[in-house]
Amino acid sequence: MSTPAQVRVRFSPSPTGIPHVGLVRTALFNWAHARHHGGTLVFRIEDTDASRDSAESYEALLDALNWLGLDWDEGVEKGGPHGPYRQSERGQIYADALRRLIEGGEVYESFSLAAEIEARHRAAGRDPKLGYDNADRDLTDEQKAAFRAEGRSPVYRLRMPEHDITFTDLVRGEITFRAGQVPDFVLARGDGTPLYPLTNPVDDALMEITHVLRGEDLLASTPRQIALLQALQRVGIGNGPFVYAHLPLVTGEGNRKLSKRDPESNLFHHRDRGFVPEGLLNYLALLGWSIADDRDVFSLEEMVAAFDVSRVSGNAARFDVKKAEAINAAHLRLLAPDDFAARVVPYLAAEGIELTTDQEQLLAAAAPLVQERSQVLSDAARMLAFLFRDEDSFAPDADAAAKNLNADAAPVLEAAVAGLTDLPEWTAAAIEESLKSSLVDGLGLKPRKAFGPVRVAISGRTVSPPLYESMELLGRERSLARLGAGVRLARGMG
């Protein structure tokens, strides 16, 4: 299928709750498709459900897109020729579209009650849960008047075509829905209040959307949209159906759909842990697409250059936290050291550490020590926090202390203090030589037994930056003070 000269795609979420990683993956694929083809991304808001939509959720969407760097060309916050871009502000547009559909004979009034529809199915020996049976298509004016006299209010239904609906999905190939498989469906209530099955296609038609990339959970609604787009075209609205690509579901454990109740579904959960936009977007791109069979790490610019929606897999894509962390770690290693250090600062703040000017210089020196060891920025902050705590607020992790600062550790730490106290120069190389001489050669300890207690006494953790470099950065006075405190703690545990 040839690509139109001007690609126009849309991202049209409802502002409900915290942004879901599956929703952001959809935004990313739409963004990449538009950027690859030099097209337009429209960002509109579907906010007609006042009971679920909220200003806070809308602000969260903006926050998410801005943090990730997924910009849009037209829509909310930017404007454009097809506004307004909030459904709640487009009521007159939907009313006009409904009027034209009614006048064109594409839509009819339906009065059947759910109980009546079930009864007709039972009488005909059909499954009573089949749904609407198109029984009201040809009601006379007298019948309609009689229903109104009973106090019934109709709904407006689209008259579905009596032929198969076939379309080519860019992800799934040719798909056919047989005639009669999809019943006439409701577009609006009797008072004209539009429903989502009307508003979404009307917006797409009037905004001249050419491609719709959306989740496969919406595939079942595609024949309804195609039928409505054809009907709208017949009454002078839009250019008929466009190109669809139904993206694979994002799943969690057990291949079930990733629920909003799952922590990993929450975009901000990953940001709070210290994913960087480059790493998270890279991983989200892998949920259904790949740049090459033998390559997982790439930039957003490389994705745009290579993105082809027809290469998206139709299979469900499982959100694998471990792989996401590995991808993020690769992007952390690609950062310039000063950039990495700057990005760690907010996560140190989350640890209760506000840096002074001198400490900013210390961070610049220390950050490269953990850049290769960090999967997320919070890892780096936790590993570096010991450098910025004064001795009154510093305390080793309880589990690490219990395993490494017990009674057996006291003579190890005392030997370390003895060897380091009069060290002529306080450098990593000199510290290493002294500790190895005092603990490995002097006490006959294996390195793990020798340096484990020292590491925990100095950093408070079993995982830290390289020990000797850490002690050099911490300084002689503070290092010896912490080793002394470690001795007291170990003696106390005895």
- Segment 379-418, tens digit of pLDDT: 999 999 999 999 888 999 999 999 999 999 999 999 999 9
Residue 74 near residue 43, CB atoms below 8 Å: yes
Q: Provide the strand spans (E) within 152-238.
A: 155-158, 165-169, 173-177, 186-189, 211-215
Of 36 and 493, more confident: 36
Alpha helices in 242-356 (DSSP H): 267-273, 277-285, 300-306, 321-334, 337-350
Mean pLDDT of the chain: 95
- 53 pLDDT band, cuts 50/70/90, is confident
Q: What pLDDT does residue 494 have?
A: 53
Under 8 Å between Cβ of 215 and 247: yes
Each residue's pLDDT tens digit, 100-128: 999 999 999 999 999 999 999 999 999 98
Which one, of 64, 167, 161, 66, lies nearest residue 106 by Cα? 161
Pairing outcome for strands 173-177 and 186-189: unpaired
| Phi and psi torsions of 28, nearest 5° | -60, -45
Q: Backbone phi, then psi, for 188, in 5-degree steps?
A: -155, 155
**Residues 427, 389 contacting (CB under 8 angstroms):** no
Give the largest Cα separation in the chain, rounded. 107
Q: At CA 11, angle to CA 193 and CA 42, rounded to 5?
A: 95
Q: What are phi and psi of 372, to 5 degrees?
A: -75, -15
The Cα 465–Cα 368 span in angstroms is 9
Question: How would you classify the pairing of strands 186-189 and 155-158?
Answer: antiparallel
The span from the CA of 48 to the CA of 453, in Å, is 61
Look at strands 250-251 and 317-318 and give their pairing: parallel
Which entry of 260, 322, 323, 436 is annotated as an active-site residue? 260
pLDDT over 90 at 254, yes or no: no
8 Å CB contact between 329 and 360: no
Asked whether the predicted pLDDT for residue 45 surpasses 90, the reply is yes
User: What are 457's two structure tokens?
Assistant: 């006494």
Of 198, 192, 309, 181, the residue nearest 245 (C-alpha) = 309
Residue 3 is predicted with a pLDDT of 44
Reported as a pLDDT band with limits 50, 70 and 90, residue 255 is confident
The question of whether 260 is a catalytic residue gets the answer yes
CB 298 within 8 A of CB 291: yes
Distance of alpha carbon 483 from alpha carbon 451, whole angstroms? 12
- Note the pTM of the prediction, 2 decimals: 0.92
Q: How far apart are CA 75 and CA 462, in angstroms?
A: 50
Instruction: List the one residue out of 213, 346, 261, 255 whose CA is nearest residue 18.
Output: 261
Predicted confidence at residue 32, as pLDDT, reads: 98
Query: If pLDDT is split at 50, 70 and 90, which confidence band does 362 have?
Result: very high
Beta strands in 144-209 (DSSP E): 155-158, 165-169, 173-177, 186-189
- The pLDDT assigned to 319 comes to 96
Between vectors from CA 469 to CA 463 and to CA 474, what angle results, nearest 5°? Answer: 90
Average the pLDDT over 357-377 and give the result: 97
pLDDT of 356 above 50? yes
Asked if 201 contacts 228 with a C-beta cutoff of 8 angstroms, the reply is yes
Better-scored residue on pLDDT, 486 or 17: 486
Please say if the pLDDT value at position 178 is more than 80: yes
Given a cut of 80, whether residue 261 has pLDDT beyond it is: yes
> What order of strands is seen across the sheet that includes strand 107-110?
107-110, 155-158, 186-189
Q: What is the pLDDT of residues 306-347, one digit of tens each?
A: 999 999 999 999 999 999 999 999 999 999 999 999 999 999
**Once rounded to an integer, what is the mean pLDDT over residues 86-107?**
97
Q: Check pLDDT > 80 for residue 50.
A: no
Distances (CA, A) of 489 to 145, 387, 410, 453, 483: 89, 20, 8, 11, 10
Whether 130 shows a pLDDT value over 90: the answer reads no
Q: Is the pLDDT of residue 159 over 90?
A: yes
